[in-house]
Structure 1
Amino acid sequence: MPAPAPRAGALRKNETECDLRVMRMASIGIIANPASGKDIRRLVSYATTIDNNEKVNICKRIVLAAQGMGVSEIYFMPDTYTMGHSVRYQLEDDGVLEADIHVLDFDFDASAADTTRAAALMEERKLGCVVVLGGDGTSRAAAKGLRETPMLSVSTGTNNVYPAMMEGTVAGMAAAAAALMPEPRSCCIRDKRIDVSINGEYRDMALIDAVVTDDQYIGARAIWNAQCMKHIIVSRCHPATIGFSSVPGVYETVEDTDDYGFAVSLGSPGRKAVAPIAAGILTPIEIRSAQRLPFGQEYRFTAESPHMIALDGERELKLFPGDRAAFTVRRRGPWRVKPREAVAAAAALGMYKR
């Protein structure tokens, strides 16, 4: 039988620093969404804006830290802002680039499908880790293309429950550690996800929240009007998160390690509260009912009028009168790198010694 995976930061007795030097050539991927943090919610709240120039700077710090740890190849998703090319040219001009930077070659259309395809291609190339810059929606799109490759999500979007705020240098170190260590899952968590079915057919998934709204049109895609929300299903929630998962979060806290999700229905009469569904704004809500969702248990809803289902903040699915929607929480999400554990494990493995 194979030996059990060590805890984060633990060394096997037969591991040596030499083992790290003879490991496979390490490579990582970077998916930077140029559209993240630019949706309609910027107009109705006070959210931070991270422009594409700053995203390039974050990517440069990721590349420099990763190559300093021993990563030799880095693959970028192609995009309309040509961030991968900008990173390479600027670091070459500065004379500090040592790793080989590649930009994946495929036709792209500036949609979420680009992110999903790039993630799938990176997994096909067996990269050691994929770093994703964006919000919840970008992380969701990347997760749809990954099965086994660890993912590290860095917040540069609007709804930022799933990705973490972190310095690019730390992100590069953590991604490199995951790519280099023999047991990367020792510093990862297998995340939950919400599977969505309509009339018995699987249609899509969300990482953090699925919201049923009265909106009848996709429009700008990003959902922001709390008065239209009827049901919220979450994989995790907390009152300190900005976004729709904060609504059930003011009722009960659900952590990423808990083996269940949560669901609320909204409307009057109900329990009155306020929740930070957008940056700088505490929005009045009324919770009519709330329940935990054990893994595999469906939360069902039958549409009596047209509705939309928003997944991780983006309107994605239409419901027509009579449609039966079902939401199921499972631990089938991506393997997410926990950055502090990864950089600590790297120290225990001697990756910083020279």
Structure 2
Amino acid sequence: MLRKVSFGIFDTGETILSALVFSTFFPLYITQHIDTKLYSLLYGLSFLVSFGFALYLGKLADARALRKLFFGVFGILTGLACSLIGVFYGVPILALSVFLLMAILHQQALVFYNSLLLTFETRGFTSGLGVALGYVGSAFALVFLAENLKAPQVYYVTSILFMIFLLPSLLTIKNPSQTQQVSLKEVFRDKRFVVLILSILSVTEVANTLVAMMGVYLREVFSMESVQIYRVIGISALGGVFGGVFWGRLSDLLGVRRVFWAGFLLWIGFLVTLPFATKEVVLIWGFLAGLSLSHIWTTSRVLILSEFPEGEASVRLSFLSLTERVASTTGLVVWSLLLYITGDDYRLSAGMMAVFPLVGLGLFWYLRRNRLI
């Protein structure tokens, strides 16, 4: 159990880093000095660079069983880079350069972190526990840290917390011993892998859009004040904590293939019914949002590990990491387009987003029908 908790605790630190630095403090700071579009472009390009590095390093890690070593190296470098943003806070161009470097390092650490699941027998529960503790970290960051920390101190505090939550994984989790020479050409040609990644992408697009726009939706549709919005987000976090453990346990009991189906149905049901939600009962949808989000975060990485050669884990998980980053951009673009088409009808736009998990369900059904997965 100690190793499982150690694995999950890193998710806590990673979520604190994401909530405070990647999502809040740094974007608000840097967009005062450069155009938002330029920042978005550079940030997006960092993901492509990261993907290229992850493929190369993942291939090396899979061939020589270097997953834990790379996780430790890139985890520590991520924490150090975070503190350096504070050092260069007064020089925006240097702070931006370090931030982009940190984004690349962070993505490498996440790929090899996910690959550590190979060392666990109950991968579903371990993954779900990480998701649950990640929600705890997010709540802690938003409630206790965001309002009490100022820049540049926030970068030092976040760096220290990230390092503290990284340490248990480095001390207790074994290095996965599975090795394999991976052909990147064969991975790109693997039809069932590509279709599965697209299926996952269809859901992560909706998931990332929900995370980014939940507060705006509640404000525009229900005229909620900040306190009311935080209450719904808090209930969503509870749904995420419960869902992480629930979906993880269920994946171990029934098999992740069977449980993965439920995510598409859950998202379709959530989005189709959301336009009819009233202010009096919207907390129910808040809980369902957390339950839906925790499903995709818990099951997707376990599914990749269970369906493809374990010796190729790092390379395969690089694609999963890329889908999450791509989805955070494309989902918002589609959401903006839907609002434009519907004349800023938030309810209708939310309902129309159900098309994405429906497409994902079709792709996953194709894999199952043809016994490709």
TM-score by length of 1: 0.30
Q: Which has the higher contact order (CA 8 A, sep 6+)?
A: 2
More helix by share: 2
More strand by share: 1
Which has the higher Rg, Structure 1 or Structure 2? Answer: 1
